[in-house]
Amino acid sequence: MVDLNYQYVNCWEDHTRFKTLYRLLDGIESTFDIHRQKTTDKLTKHQQVLYETIKEKSEIGAGDLYDAYCEDVDDPKTRRTMRNHLSKLEQYNLIFASGKTKARTYQPYS
């Protein structure tokens, strides 16, 4: 196991060790990408459509998201079910929500 605090401090004390810090950070980013891929494989068809729409738009309001969702699927679920799906996407750390009620928008984690 790598001691991140030790590696981080040593990187700043000896400038030649920046490669270590970059390697650690690069490994962490790869880990998030792998986790995100495994998580998206578990999504239902409806959750996948919502997630792809949010990724495509970068930021989208709940009303516009529901309209886009209804256009993209043959059997759209209710707004309440959509909110449940969005909550699940948030729990998976795929998206995050800003605002409350009607002003709520959704964005993907990069």
Check the CA dihedral 9-15-20-26 and report its sign. positive
Q: What is the pLDDT of residues 2-45, one digit of tens each?
A: 555 554 455 445 555 555 655 666 656 555 554 555 677 889 99
Indicate if 64 and 34 belong to the same structural domain. Answer: no
Indicate if 49 and 95 belong to the same structural domain. Answer: yes
**Structural domains counted in the chain:** 2
Q: What is the pLDDT of residue 41?
A: 80
Q: What is the pLDDT of residue 22?
A: 56
Indicate if 47 and 19 belong to the same structural domain. Answer: no
pTM of the model: 0.66
